[in-house]
Homo-oligomer: A and B are copies of this chain.
Amino acid sequence: MERLLCGVDIGGTKLSAALFRSNGTMVAKETTKEHVGKEPGEVLRVIAGLVRGLLDSESLGLGDIEGVGVGITGHVLGREGLIITTSNFKIPFLRYPFVEKLGALLPGTRVLLDNDANVQALGESMYGAGRGYGSMVFITVSTGVGAGIVLGGKLLRGHNGTAGEIGHTVIDMRSTHKCTCGNYGCAMALSSGLFLPELYAEKLRAGMSSRIDIDEKDVGSMCGELLAQGVSCGDLISIEIMNDSADVIGTLAFNVFQFLDPDLVVLGGGLLNLGDAYVKRIRSRFLDLSKDMMLEEMEIKTSELGADSGLLGAASLLRE
């Protein structure tokens, strides 16, 4: 029988594992929150337990899987199996030999690791919108902006493991918007979920009025869902923020074209729930900038893997 692929997605609040056939079909999935607030060693035991439980539930053993692929938010050195930092959430992995340690808990099992944007990119390239394309850049617009670069079926990881961190490229040098990285004018600081409260507050301060009863006091609650509501009920601030974000992501897609000239850009992440108007404006900004510079137009598609892209992406590391 064909061996299955196991994918693990470690998030700040949710830890999931799933089994897939090599064609990408999901066989089984388990989710837990047991890892929250635990020390690294305990988190690893939770992961190993989750994987073993998942196999048990299908009457399978470690010998029935090709290995375990893991995706995690943070700075990861995939080739070395090392987590450098996971500052974006609260599990204190720091220069942590993740692959070695998890491997010890799952003897004889191949363990692979990469960051969440990279694994989503790889998954999308193998099983989603990127199938059949030679080169693809996956851009996720979510809490932050991340990306993964797939060239000839392989992830471009870079010297420090940080290739594709294009959310932190500077596209507005003189911006007053400060990013979490400490710089100003990063694409991420001008377009992503984390900065929606600040972007909304700025419009309020400029004298615009909210149609969804958000004022400076409760602007902290502004998020992708609320922005989508604002857009749908004609709140001008929400519409402007959506358009500004789309212009930034469209400009970023243009910079991707100038840097890498890939066959395809795939857009994913929660802010795409803003819908067609958002994606249409991203494409239109991209085309305005690229004009006649392309011999053949770079395609911009949206993610096809949806909610389980992190799990399938992690599993796809085993097939890279």
* Residues of A participating in the B interface, judged by any CB pair closer than 8 Å: 75, 77, 84, 134-135, 149, 151, 156-166, 168-174, 181-183, 247-248, 251, 254-255, 257-263, 289, 291, 293-296, 298
Which residues of chain B come closer than 8 Å to A254, judged between CB atoms? 169-170
11 of the cross-chain contacts (CB-CB < 8 Å) are A157-B261, A158-B262, A159-B263, A160-B261, A161-B261, A162-B293, A168-B258, A169-B259, A170-B171, A259-B259, A259-B260
Given A158-B261, A159-B262, A160-B294; 5 other pairs, CB 8 A cutoff: A158-B262, A162-B294, A171-B171, A181-B291, A259-B259
Contact assessment for B170 and A289 in the assembled complex, using a CB-CB cutoff below 8 Å = yes
User: Shortest CB–CB separation between residue A149 and chain B, in angstroms?
Assistant: 8
Contact assessment for A259 and B171 in the assembled complex, using a CB-CB cutoff below 8 Å = no
Cα of A294 to Cα of B248 in the assembled complex, Å? 25
Contact assessment for A172 and B169 in the assembled complex, using a CB-CB cutoff below 8 Å = no
Contact assessment for A84 and B161 in the assembled complex, using a CB-CB cutoff below 8 Å = no
Contact assessment for A259 and B163 in the assembled complex, using a CB-CB cutoff below 8 Å = yes
Q: Which of B134, B151, B165 contacts A258 (CB 8 A)?
A: B165
Contact assessment for B293 and A181 in the assembled complex, using a CB-CB cutoff below 8 Å = yes
User: Shortest CB–CB separation between residue A15 and chain B, in angstroms?
Assistant: 26
Which residues of chain B come closer than 8 Å to A255, judged between CB atoms? 169-170, 255
Cα of A246 to Cα of B44 in the assembled complex, Å? 46
Which residues of chain B come closer than 8 Å to A289, judged between CB atoms? 170, 183
Contact assessment for B261 and A168 in the assembled complex, using a CB-CB cutoff below 8 Å = no
Which residues of chain B come closer than 8 Å to A183, judged between CB atoms? 289
Cα of A216 to Cα of B63 in the assembled complex, Å? 77
Q: Which of B157, B159, B251 contacts A173 (CB 8 A)?
A: B251
User: Shortest CB–CB separation between residue A20 and chain B, in angstroms?
Assistant: 29
With CB as the reference atom, state the residue of chain B lying closest to A263: B159
Which residues of chain B come closer than 8 Å to A259, judged between CB atoms? 149, 163-166, 169, 259-260
Q: Which of B77, B135, B159, B251 contacts A298 (CB 8 A)?
A: B159
Cα of A164 to Cα of B262 in the assembled complex, Å? 11
Contact assessment for B174 and A158 in the assembled complex, using a CB-CB cutoff below 8 Å = no
Which residues of chain B come closer than 8 Å to A261, judged between CB atoms? 157-163, 165
**Contact A151/B159 with A251-B173, A255-B170 known, Cβ cut-off 8 Å:** no
Q: Which of B157, B159, B173, B291 contacts A182 (CB 8 A)?
A: B291
Q: Which 3 A-B pairs have the closest CB atoms?
A: A158-B261, A163-B261, A169-B255
User: Shortest CB–CB separation between residue A155 and chain B, in angstroms?
Assistant: 12
